[in-house]
Chain A
Amino acid sequence: MDLAPDTAPNRAALCADLANASARGQHMRIVGGGSGGRRGGVSHTESDVISTRTFDRIISHEPADLVATVEAGVGVAEFQAALARHGQTWIQAPTNPHSTVGGVLARAESGLRRLRYGAIRDSVLQVVAITGDGRLIQAGGKTVKGVAGYDIPRLMVGAYGTLGVIVEVTLKLWPTPPSSQWFTAEGSTHTLTQRGEQIRRETHQPGAIITSADRLWVELIGPSADLVPPAGMHAGDPPPALTGVGRMDVGVGPAQLPGLAAALARRGYAFQAQLGVGTCTVIFDDSTQLNEIRQFAIDAGGHATIGDAPDELRSDPWGPPPAGMTLMQRLKTACDPARILNHGQFIGDLEGAR
């Protein structure tokens, strides 16, 4: 399949719009599928909206090479369906039904199989983006391996659109696994995390090991002979999506995750911890809980950012500034000198010094 569409007009128009907006200091907000809306800082300035939905083509998919080039506005579900017809998948991607490819990459959202297949940014081979001042740039390469030039794709992934508007990416794909199965068990937090850690040590490359306060989920992937229920577990569904007033995304070293899970369970939080990865999703109701969860994360040597929450709870979505703030400010200047892209949404100090 190689559609080779003429994508130039859309891109040229956006380059002109952004160059113009930069010259006027007009803030621009980037929107994909709209699924990441309640994330990041609340902007108090007037912004024009850029929809990436006009970048809506799967440009090429070379099944024999396990590589696809896709525009940012394509829905993840639509993209996965196209790949599935050839027995392939973007395996690191999450399954949120409304996300676009660009949105998932801007937020660096990884799916549940990260333990086995790695983070979403590891799938990105090449990025085509438009900088804040309207320059169309490409970085990386279309081959499955490549070290030519600086790794701008890794900067763009997880930058929340503040370095440029991603318009196209080339992704490394995986064959769809022949079979997989979720298993589940109930118990106490301590027993479950111990059991989960044991499975992590003894099982070769499980897809996921996720624990809540009272339930453990394990996904095994491979030939059917390998899909044997771990002792004490039975076949079940994947963990349900957590819902609540607000959601925090915590990251701690995998060795610290059982301790964090114990602390969260003691305080009665609803959470799902990805053992071996170090990520943990926690539901919170108010700013007191937010601060407590963040403190737990910091005490465990990690960090906690707000994944989803109403405006009134998002006064400090990112927590203490990360190391290297000066470098980040300079990178921001290199890519969006007028600081017009998604103003106020990403770590605040980025918009300070120039």
Chain B
Amino acid sequence: MRRSSARGNLGGMPTVVTTSAIDHFREVVGSERVLTEHIERLLYAKDGSMNQGDCGVAVLCETTHEVAACMRIAAEHDLAVVPRGSGTSLAGSAIPLDGSVVISVARMNRVLSIDSETPCAWVEPGVLNLDLTTAVSHLGLHYAPDPSSQAACSIGGNVATNAGGPHCLASGVTSQHILGLEIVLPDGEILTIGGPAPDPAGYDLRGFIVGGEGTLGIVTKVCVKLTRNPPVVRTMLADFSSLTAAGKAVRDIIAEGVIPAAMEMMDSTMTRAVEAFVHAGLPTESAAVLLVELDGTAAHVSEHTHVVERICRESGANHIRVAADEAERALLWKARKNAFGACARIAPNYYLHDCVVPRTRLVEVLSAIEEIAARHDLVIMNVFHAGDGNLHPLISFDRRDDAQVTRVLAAGNDIITVCMNAGGTLSGEHGIGMEKRDFMPLQFGIADLDAQARCREAFDPEGRMNPRKVLPAGSKCGDLAFPHEHLPEGTWI
């Protein structure tokens, strides 16, 4: 039976969680794990983004069968469901809208099995990214994708957003590190897809589910590929007198055929904020700081170190600092990964973007972002994955100031437009969620969005999974209302 016309997984209708539904949830997980108090629902209506949603009830599941039972209850009562891991989404992917049911898998946090031969591990979705690496480090292994939020974000959330991280430059994003998964579909069916055996017959459902932002089902187990630790790691910090010079170094390093394990950049505002917070001895007088990490065999690292040093010097680096030991390396990474937290020193709130641009266009896009900051009288800081062109312009502001918020949104629009005009992509690793949803027509035409909506509907014919996320209303050809007035300028229509 298809009821997509009633709700439409892109439009959404208010969900009313009846006492009968709540009683059924309580029968499955017990009263203490069904959160109905106003303050509890307020908490579960937020994530790491700027948005505030409306949570009808939050159910904290501890097993796959609980998730499946709750999904069946939601299906019987025609309730919209939003899966939730650690709730660190920066795009609003974990925000419930219109009274949706939040199903949290944060308590499903066990590492189920570790296979050191493959090497891989089966884990529950609530396992924190960093905890996974900690759990396998004694075997000389790690889990490669390392978002800056890795101490807080969950593997389930990483799968939902196809998360990235600094070390995805050489090793690839989450999708390349997920071998299999168990998913509970919207009707409560439990499916195990893939595993350590490569290339099963049929369509790559695993690849499609990764990055699905909780709109396809709830992932309840994940088979992650583990990576052997490299024998040699060298971390270098180069500082430059201009963003342009640092951007040129990035471009030339890649063009020379060197793919570092990670290549990250910070501008001066960000560097000063981070230094005041972390005390890593960062060059606060410089316009840009480039953090480059090389790994591999001694010969490989040595050869590439020479190339990186030469290109940095040719591009006008003031100093090149090489981490002397693991402690200094850890300190430099602490500086990088705490950048967002350090922003609280500038202003209470920030609005973070995630566009990717071709690496050859980095320099011009960074200049354009500087102009946007000046034009809107805002502080925009940059800390980003320079090696793959994944920008993170961070607009700091005080949300109590309405005029400032208006300027922040306008500047955000301008940043996205500049990136898309440079041949960019809307999101590199945070996902589309709510925040980038209405910008999707800048990247995709009507037929493209329609194809995505049809594929999504294959998983969720009734449109109850994380409604109103990822695709703008009207994506499915035949949906009546196509909200032209809400679309940003330049949209394909």
Which of A122, A176, A253 meets B176, CB within 8 Å?
A: A122
Decide: B173 and A145 in contact? CB cutoff 8 A. yes
Q: Let me know if A278 is at the binding interface, CB within 8 A.
A: yes
Q: Let me know if B30 is at the binding interface, CB within 8 A.
A: no
Q: List 6 A-B contacts (CB under 8 A).
A: A147-B431, A149-B444, A175-B257, A205-B296, A252-B196, A254-B117
- Chain B, 122-150, contact with A by CB distance < 8 Å: what is the 0/1 string? 00000000000000000000000000000
Q: Let me know if A142 is at the binding interface, CB within 8 A.
A: yes
A149-B470, A158-B204, A347-B202 known; A141+B451 contact, CB < 8 A = no
Chain B residue at smallest Cβ distance from A203: B297
Decide: B359 and A152 in contact? CB cutoff 8 A. no
Q: Let me know if B452 is at the binding interface, CB within 8 A.
A: yes
Which of A144, A151, A178, A321 meets B388, CB within 8 Å?
A: A144
Query: In the complex, what residues of A have CB within 8 A of residue B358's CB?
Result: 62, 65, 67, 142-143
Decide: B447 and A145 in contact? CB cutoff 8 A. no
Decide: B197 and A324 in contact? CB cutoff 8 A. no
Decide: B196 and A255 in contact? CB cutoff 8 A. yes
Give A197 to B116 CA distance when docked, in angstroms.
Answer: 12
Chain B residue at smallest Cβ distance from A88: B257
Decide: A159 and B430 in contact? CB cutoff 8 A. no
The chain B residues found within 8 Å of chain A, CB to CB, are: 115, 117-118, 120, 161-162, 164, 168, 172-173, 175-176, 185, 191-193, 195-205, 207-208, 210-212, 228, 230-231, 251, 254-255, 257-259, 296-297, 299-300, 303, 356-360, 385, 388-390, 423-432, 436, 440, 443-445, 447-452, 454-459, 461, 470-471
- State which of A49-57, A220-228, A235-243, A264-272 sits at the interface with chain B: A220-228
Number of residues from A at the complex interface, CB < 8 A: 80
Chain B residue at smallest Cβ distance from A350: B202
| CB proximity to B under 8 Å, residues A311-348 | 318-319, 321-325, 327-328, 330-331, 333-335, 346-347
Decide: A204 and B457 in contact? CB cutoff 8 A. no
| CB proximity to B under 8 Å, residues A60-114 | 62-67, 87-88, 108
Decide: A143 and B357 in contact? CB cutoff 8 A. yes
In the assembled complex, the CB of A269 is this many whole angstroms from the nearest CB of chain B, namely 19
Query: In the complex, what residues of A have CB within 8 A of residue B173's CB?
Result: 145, 147
The chain A residues found within 8 Å of chain B, CB to CB, are: 62-67, 87-88, 108, 118-119, 121-122, 131, 135-139, 141-152, 154-155, 157-159, 163, 174-176, 178, 197, 201, 204-205, 222-223, 225-226, 249, 251-256, 277-279, 300-303, 305, 318-319, 321-325, 327-328, 330-331, 333-335, 346-347
In the assembled complex, the CB of A84 is this many whole angstroms from the nearest CB of chain B, namely 13
The 10 closest A-B pairs by CB, nearest first: A154-B207, A175-B257, A253-B196, A330-B458, A141-B425, A334-B454, A146-B425, A225-B299, A302-B197, A255-B117
In the assembled complex, the CB of A325 is this many whole angstroms from the nearest CB of chain B, namely 8
Chain A residue at smallest Cβ distance from B196: A253
A150-B455, A151-B210 known; A305+B201 contact, CB < 8 A = yes
**Known contacts A147-B173, A251-B199, then 10 further A-B pairs from the complex at CB < 8 Å, ordered by chain A residue:** A137-B451, A138-B444, A144-B356, A147-B211, A150-B212, A151-B162, A152-B208, A322-B201, A334-B455, A335-B455
Query: In the complex, what residues of A have CB within 8 A of residue B168's CB?
Result: 145
Give A178 to B296 CA distance when docked, in angstroms.
Answer: 14
Give A333 to B454 CA distance when docked, in angstroms.
Answer: 9
Which of B117, B175, B201, B389 meets A347, CB within 8 Å?
A: B201
Chain B residue at smallest Cβ distance from A154: B207
Give A148 to B449 CA distance when docked, in angstroms.
Answer: 11
Give A197 to B117 CA distance when docked, in angstroms.
Answer: 9
Give A64 to B247 CA distance when docked, in angstroms.
Answer: 13
Decide: A253 and B458 in contact? CB cutoff 8 A. no
Decide: A150 and B456 in contact? CB cutoff 8 A. yes
Which of A67, A139, A149, A279 meets B199, CB within 8 Å?
A: A279
In the assembled complex, the CB of A170 is this many whole angstroms from the nearest CB of chain B, namely 11
Query: In the complex, what residues of A have CB within 8 A of residue B452's CB?
Result: 139, 149-150, 152
Decide: B198 and A279 in contact? CB cutoff 8 A. yes
Decide: A322 and B202 in contact? CB cutoff 8 A. yes
Give A302 to B356 CA distance when docked, in angstroms.
Answer: 37
Chain A residue at smallest Cβ distance from B295: A204
Decide: A154 and B448 in contact? CB cutoff 8 A. no
Decide: B445 and A118 in contact? CB cutoff 8 A. no
Chain A residue at smallest Cβ distance from B183: A324
In the assembled complex, the CB of A133 is this many whole angstroms from the nearest CB of chain B, namely 11
Decide: B443 and A145 in contact? CB cutoff 8 A. no
Decide: B257 and A303 in contact? CB cutoff 8 A. no
Decide: A254 and B296 in contact? CB cutoff 8 A. no
Query: In the complex, what residues of B have CB within 8 A of residue A65's CB?
Result: 254, 358-360, 389
Give A287 to B300 CA distance when docked, in angstroms.
Answer: 48
Give A174 to B170 CA distance when docked, in angstroms.
Answer: 10
Give A135 to B162 CA distance when docked, in angstroms.
Answer: 27
Decide: B451 and A335 in contact? CB cutoff 8 A. yes
Of the listed residues A108, A151, A277, the one surrounded by the most CB atoms of chain B closer than 10 A to its CB is A151
Query: In the complex, what residues of A have CB within 8 A of residue B197's CB?
Result: 251-253, 256, 278, 300-303
Chain B residue at smallest Cβ distance from A197: B117
Give A291 to B47 CA distance when docked, in angstroms.
Answer: 52
Chain A residue at smallest Cβ distance from B257: A175
In the assembled complex, the CB of B464 is this many whole angstroms from the nearest CB of chain A, namely 16
A154-B208, A347-B201 known; A118+B255 contact, CB < 8 A = no
A119-B198, A301-B195 known; A146+B207 contact, CB < 8 A = no
Chain A residue at smallest Cβ distance from B117: A255
Decide: A145 and B118 in contact? CB cutoff 8 A. no
In the assembled complex, the CB of A314 is this many whole angstroms from the nearest CB of chain B, namely 13
Decide: A122 and B172 in contact? CB cutoff 8 A. yes
A252-B197, A324-B191 known; A138+B448 contact, CB < 8 A = yes
Give A337 to B445 CA distance when docked, in angstroms.
Answer: 21
Decide: A251 and B198 in contact? CB cutoff 8 A. yes
Give A131 to B451 CA distance when docked, in angstroms.
Answer: 9
Query: In the complex, what residues of B have CB within 8 A of residue A121's CB?
Result: 204, 207
Query: In the complex, what residues of B have CB within 8 A of residue A303's CB?
Result: 197, 200-201
Query: In the complex, what residues of A have CB within 8 A of residue B296's CB?
Result: 204-205, 222
A143-B425, A323-B192 known; A333+B455 contact, CB < 8 A = no
Give A254 to B303 CA distance when docked, in angstroms.
Answer: 32
Decide: A328 and B208 in contact? CB cutoff 8 A. no
Query: In the complex, what residues of A have CB within 8 A of residue B356's CB?
Result: 141, 143-146
A251-B198, A334-B457 known; A323+B191 contact, CB < 8 A = yes
Which of A64, A249, A305 meets B251, CB within 8 Å?
A: A64
Query: In the complex, what residues of A have CB within 8 A of residue B461's CB?
Result: 330
Give A324 to B217 CA distance when docked, in angstroms.
Answer: 13
Chain B residue at smallest Cβ distance from A274: B198
Decide: B162 and A147 in contact? CB cutoff 8 A. yes
Decide: A204 and B428 in contact? CB cutoff 8 A. no
Give A335 to B450 CA distance when docked, in angstroms.
Answer: 11
In the assembled complex, the CB of A237 is this many whole angstroms from the nearest CB of chain B, namely 24
